[in-house]
């Protein structure tokens, strides 16, 4: 211990004062002849132990206070050697880069690797001399800089450092070092240095150092892991596919697990969790550095049509973030489809429902498809049906028309396709309330000007679809240019009479001529969709185009009001998600795993009516909902997504020394390690205040004994 003003230590003599007072006080005791000695001695006997202890404590407290005062004024301090970089003692401009990537969240003793890095950075900040300009960056991909310009205000940098937290993003050292060198480029100091606090994991260095070839600042790496190797096991991939063989709601969950250790892992415990509840368990053996796959079969129960978080978890290790991986599935409502075949044929591939039923069965494996002739359909047969498809039906009977009106109003879906047998007059008369647009005259493409060459299937004159509008939810998942649909040729279609425009009616697809090809209308709780051509090859070759199956599948889902029995999009932490506005939606809201909500307004969207959501720092499921002009909120489950860890962060491989960008070592041999001065008077002052408090309490208690 050293003192700035050792002469003031003479004041320590004051510590003898309490003792002197004690001794003097003893001599001037007043004698009293007292009658109640017996009572007095009993009282003394009862409190003597406590009193003696209290008197000793009082004496010690008072002596301590008397001794602490001169000690504090003498300004004691201690010197401690530090293992922080010697270079930090020079006047310089410095950028501190803190590795906040996911791997830094692994535990290291009682703290995490990130906390250790932050502690080291804090110590370095305090060690810098006063004439140092400082900036602070984080190394995770896409992170915003904490302090992006050089500043001499150390307190501000310290505050920013304290507020930094570890993210789930992967590291991107090239970007971080590039930013740091750009910040230092404007420095007035001759010495410009980057101090990087990291665990030196190889992940994040794939893009190089990011430093300029000429005039690059010095880089000093502080390896907070102490070059210690760490072993890890991780879930690398989780995928969910329908498993109808298990039953309704059956899913197969495939998980890929990896080992990053020298010894491998035997009987690693795995668990399948659905909505946070463990539903299946298993074990897997992993060779050193090897990978293994595990499949879980499970049947989702509960409300049909519900969304589920499916998670695969392995036994925990030091790095917890990659011990589980998430998938989000939207379970389709069980679909029961009744197809009314209005034009039965003996040849199967010429039969009207041939392509339509095949598309349904393949596109929606859980769907139950029933095909009936018009005469076999009774109003009662609609009771257990979710979707009715009337294919080239000549005319619905009045009873059937009434039953269909009730069916759709109650929430059922109705798909209508036309053909040669359709009696437009009868349809318009009996189904006026249900048809999105009244049926008109059939029109052949031969009546159109020009022909399309290059087709090998059919040389008949044909028309194609106009470019598709992906803002409609039914087409949102199609490729941007509508591949698979726009190549379809339409030799004949039925013109539709004009109808009053309204929010309940929309044209989904149009022909090049502008005539409606696929129109939908909301009726009550249900929906009706009208295709103005056939679903067999008589009027069009659409059924043999690649877009036919997804078109039928999406149309069926939309009519029934459910989304797919599919896994939601999976992003890596830090990746952005494009969200598209549809219809007249005014706001899109993203509900994060921690419950907070991010909001995008329509006027923030680009010309493609899309916005970019990039705040994917947290692992988990993100739900999207849309707010209409009247304030109604509807879920957009097709936009939901999950954020999982970038698997590169799971690999504990260290950066090859040859690729390290640092040019001077943290501890140079032969250089005397710097000493760090630790002021002690603060602690002494705290002790003195404590002693004063004790003295006050003891003095008060003295009256109560």
Q: Which is nearer to other proteins, 29 or 441 (CB)?
A: 29
Closest CA to 215 of 182, 176, 253: 182
| Contact residue for other proteins among 6, 16, 43, 504 (CB under 8 A) | 43
**In angstroms, what is the minimal distance from the CB of 114 to other proteins?**
56
Q: Which is nearer to other proteins, 25 or 449 (CB)?
A: 25
**In angstroms, what is the minimal distance from the CB of 58 to other proteins?**
11
**In angstroms, what is the minimal distance from the CB of 28 to other proteins?**
7
| Contact residue for other proteins among 10, 13, 46, 81 (CB under 8 A) | 46
Q: Rounded CA gap, 692 and 430, in Å?
A: 97
**In angstroms, what is the minimal distance from the CB of 23 to other proteins?**
12
**In angstroms, what is the minimal distance from the CB of 27 to other proteins?**
9
Query: What x/- string results for residues 47 through 76 when contact with other proteins is judged by CB under 8 A?
Result: x---x-------------------------
Q: Rounded CA gap, 665 and 87, in Å?
A: 10
Report CA dihedral (681, 682, 685, 689) to the nearest 10 degrees: -170
| Contact residue for other proteins among 13, 16, 17, 40 (CB under 8 A) | 40
Q: Which is nearer to other proteins, 43 or 668 (CB)?
A: 43
Q: Which is nearer to other proteins, 33 or 80 (CB)?
A: 33
Q: What are phi and psi of 486, to 5 degrees?
A: -70, -15
Q: Which is nearer to other proteins, 677 or 702 (CB)?
A: 702
**In angstroms, what is the minimal distance from the CB of 54 to other proteins?**
8
Contact between 370 and 336 under an 8 Å Cβ cutoff? The reply is yes
Q: Which secondary structure element, helix H or strand E, spans residue 613, and what is its range?
A: strand 610-613
| Contact residue for other proteins among 44, 350, 429, 584 (CB under 8 A) | 44
Q: What are phi and psi of 270, to 5 degrees?
A: -130, 150
Structure tokens at 498: 């004009």
Q: Which is nearer to other proteins, 30 or 144 (CB)?
A: 30
| Contact residue for other proteins among 2, 42, 293, 601 (CB under 8 A) | 42
**In angstroms, what is the minimal distance from the CB of 678 to other proteins?**
42
Neighbours of 637 (CB within 10 A): 19
Long-range pairs of 496-500 with CB within 8 A, sequence gap ≥ 24: 496/436, 496/437, 496/438, 496/439, 496/440, 496/530, 496/532, 497/428, 497/437, 497/438, 497/439, 497/440, 498/437, 499/436, 499/437, 499/438
Between β-strands 76-81 and 675-679, what pairing exists: parallel, antiparallel or unpaired?
antiparallel
Q: Rounded CA gap, 375 and 383, in Å?
A: 17
Q: Is 188 in the site for other proteins (CB under 8 A)?
A: no
Q: Which residues make beta-bridge pairs with 282?
A: 270
Question: Which residues, 551 to 610, sit near other proteins by CB under 8 A?
Answer: none
**In angstroms, what is the minimal distance from the CB of 42 to other proteins?**
5
Q: What is the largest CA-CA distance in the chain?
A: 138
**In angstroms, what is the minimal distance from the CB of 155 to other proteins?**
50
Q: Is 348 in the site for other proteins (CB under 8 A)?
A: no
Stretch binding other proteins (CB under 8 A), from 43-51, 59-67, 248-256, 610-618? 43-51
In whole angstroms, how far apart are CA 447 and each of 423, 442, 451, 491, 587?
A: 22, 11, 10, 10, 45
Query: What x/- string results for residues 10 through 39 when contact with other proteins is judged by CB under 8 A?
Result: ---------------xx-xxxxxxxxxxxx
Q: Classify 40 as helix, strand or coil.
A: helix
Residue count, binding to other proteins (CB under 8 A): 26
Closest CA to 295 of 282, 279, 276: 282
| Contact residue for other proteins among 5, 17, 53, 705 (CB under 8 A) | 705
Q: Which is nearer to other proteins, 54 or 333 (CB)?
A: 54
**In angstroms, what is the minimal distance from the CB of 692 to other proteins?**
21
Contact between 496 and 438 under an 8 Å Cβ cutoff? The reply is yes
**In angstroms, what is the minimal distance from the CB of 158 to other proteins?**
50
Q: Which is nearer to other proteins, 40 or 457 (CB)?
A: 40
Q: Which residues make beta-bridge pairs with 247?
A: none
**In angstroms, what is the minimal distance from the CB of 695 to other proteins?**
15
Q: Which is nearer to other proteins, 29 or 228 (CB)?
A: 29
Between β-strands 633-635 and 610-613, what pairing exists: parallel, antiparallel or unpaired?
unpaired
In whole angstroms, how far apart are CA 572 and each of 141, 312, 397, 589, 616?
A: 11, 16, 55, 20, 8
Q: Is 263 in the site for other proteins (CB under 8 A)?
A: no
Q: Classify 132 as helix, strand or coil.
A: coil
Q: Rounded CA gap, 417 and 340, in Å?
A: 11
**In angstroms, what is the minimal distance from the CB of 20 to other proteins?**
15
What are the residues binding other proteins (CB under 8 A)?
25-26, 28-44, 46-47, 51, 702-705
């Amino acid at each position: 211990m050293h003192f700035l003003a050792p002469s003031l230590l003479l004041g320590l003599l004051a510590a003898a004062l309490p003792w002197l007072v004690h001794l003097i006080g003893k001599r001037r005791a007043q004698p009293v002849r007292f009658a109640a000695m017996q009572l007095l001695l009993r009282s003394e006997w009862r409190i003597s132990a406590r009193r003696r202890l209290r008197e000793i404590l009082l004496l010690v407290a008072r002596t301590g206070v008397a001794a602490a005062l001169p000690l504090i004024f003498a300004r004691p301090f201690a010197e401690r050697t530090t293992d922080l970089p010697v270079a930090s003692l020079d006047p310089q401009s410095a950028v501190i880069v803190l590795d906040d990537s996911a791997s830094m969240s692994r535990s290291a003793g009682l703290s995490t690797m990130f906390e250790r890095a932050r502690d080291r950075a804090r110590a370095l900040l305090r060690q810098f001399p006063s004439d140092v300009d400082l900036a602070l960056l984080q190394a995770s991909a896409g992170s915003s800089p904490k302090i992006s310009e050089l500043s001499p205000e150390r307190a501000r940098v310290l505050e920013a450092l304290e507020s930094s937290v570890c993210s789930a993003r992967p590291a991107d050292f090239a970007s971080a070092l590039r930013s740091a060198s750009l910040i230092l480029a404007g420095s007035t100091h001759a010495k410009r240095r980057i101090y990087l606090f990291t665990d030196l994991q190889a992940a994040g260095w794939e893009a190089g150092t990011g430093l300029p070839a000429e005039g690059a600042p010095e880089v000093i790496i502080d390896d907070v892991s102490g070059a210690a190797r760490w072993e890890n096991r991780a879930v690398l991939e989780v995928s969910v596919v329908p498993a109808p063989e298990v039953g309704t709601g059956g899913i197969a969950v495939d998980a890929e697990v990896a080992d990053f250790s020298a010894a491998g892992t035997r009987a690693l415990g795995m668990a399948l969790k659905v909505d946070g509840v463990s539903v299946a368990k298993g074990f897997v053996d992993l060779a050193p550095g090897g990978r293994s796959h595990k499949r879980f079969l499970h049947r989702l129960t509960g409300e049909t049509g519900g969304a589920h978080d499916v998670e695969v978890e392995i036994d925990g290790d030091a790095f917890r973030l990659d011990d589980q991986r998430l998938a989000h599935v939207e379970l389709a409502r069980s679909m029961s489809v009744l197809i009314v075949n209005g034009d039965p044929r003996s040849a199967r591939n010429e039969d009207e429902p041939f392509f339509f039923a095949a598309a349904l069965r393949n596109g929606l494996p859980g769907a139950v498809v029933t095909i009936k002739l018009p005469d076999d359909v009774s109003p009662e047969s609609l009771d257990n049906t979710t979707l009715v498809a009337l294919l080239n039906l000549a005319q619905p009977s009045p009873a059937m028309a009434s039953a269909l009106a009730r069916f759709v109003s109650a929430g059922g879906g109705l798909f209508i396709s036309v053909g040669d047998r359709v009696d437009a007059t009868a349809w318009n008369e009996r189904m006026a309330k249900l048809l999105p647009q009244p049926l008109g005259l059939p029109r052949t493409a031969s009546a159109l000007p020009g022909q399309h060459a290059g087709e090998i299937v059919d040389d008949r004159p044909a028309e194609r679809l106009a470019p598709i509008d992906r803002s409609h939810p039914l087409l949102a998942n199609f490729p941007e240019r509508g591949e698979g649909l726009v190549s379809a040729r339409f030799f004949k279609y039925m013109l539709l009479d004009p109808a009053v425009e309204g929010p309940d009616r929309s044209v989904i697809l149009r022909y090049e001529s502008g005539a409606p090809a696929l129109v939908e209308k909301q009726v009550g709780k249900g929906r009706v969709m009208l295709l103005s051509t056939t679903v067999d090859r008589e009027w069009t070759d659409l059924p043999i185009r690649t877009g036919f199956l997804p078109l039928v599948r999406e149309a069926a889902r939309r009519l029934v009001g459910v989304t797919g029995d599919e896994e939601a999009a999976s992003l890596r932490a830090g990746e952005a998600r494009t969200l598209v506005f549809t219809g007249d939606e005014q706001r899109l809201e993203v509900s994060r795993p921690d419950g907070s909500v991010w909001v995008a307004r329509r006027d923030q969207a680009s010309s493609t009516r899309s916005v970019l959501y990039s705040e994917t720092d947290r692992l988990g499921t993100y739900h999207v909902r849309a707010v209409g002009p009247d304030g109604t909120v509807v879920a957009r489950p097709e936009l939901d997504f999950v954020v999982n860890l970038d698997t590169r962060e799971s690999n504990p491989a260290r950066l090859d020394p040859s690729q390290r960008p640092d040019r001077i070592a943290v501890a140079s041999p032969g250089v005397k390690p710097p000493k760090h001065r630790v002021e002690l008077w603060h602690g002494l002052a705290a002790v003195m205040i404590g002693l004063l408090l004790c003295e006050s309490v003891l003095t008060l208690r003295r009256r109560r004994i």
